[in-house]
Amino acid sequence: MQRCEACRTLVGKPSSVAPHPDLSETGSEIAGTALHPVKRCDRYRCTVCGSRLHRNTFDGDPGGVWSAEVSR
């Protein structure tokens, strides 16, 4: 799968950068316990190229940046 230019540009940018208009939020990843949940990222899918991107919190991996889900 080839990422569109908008997705390629976003990967590695700080999480404070807004998602591009073709990204659709698909959920969040939360870890920890019920008493202390830790939000790790918001997940997005591009409606143009199909890429799955993560808007990582500082507790994410990598922390505080946009990352692309690795295809398997």
What are the residue boundaries of the structural domains of the chain, listed by start? 5-68
Element (H, E) at 6: helix 5-10
Residues 3-42 have pLDDT tens digits of 999 999 999 999 999 999 999 999 999 998 889 999 999 9
* Residues 46 and 53: beta-carbon distance below 8 Å: yes
pLDDT recorded at residue 72: 54
Has residue 64 got a pLDDT over 70? yes
User: Residue 28 pairs with which residues in a beta bridge?
Assistant: 42
pLDDT recorded at residue 26: 97
Question: In this structure, what token pair is assigned to residue 22?
Answer: 């073709």
Residues 32-59 have pLDDT tens digits of 888 999 999 999 999 999 999 999 999 9
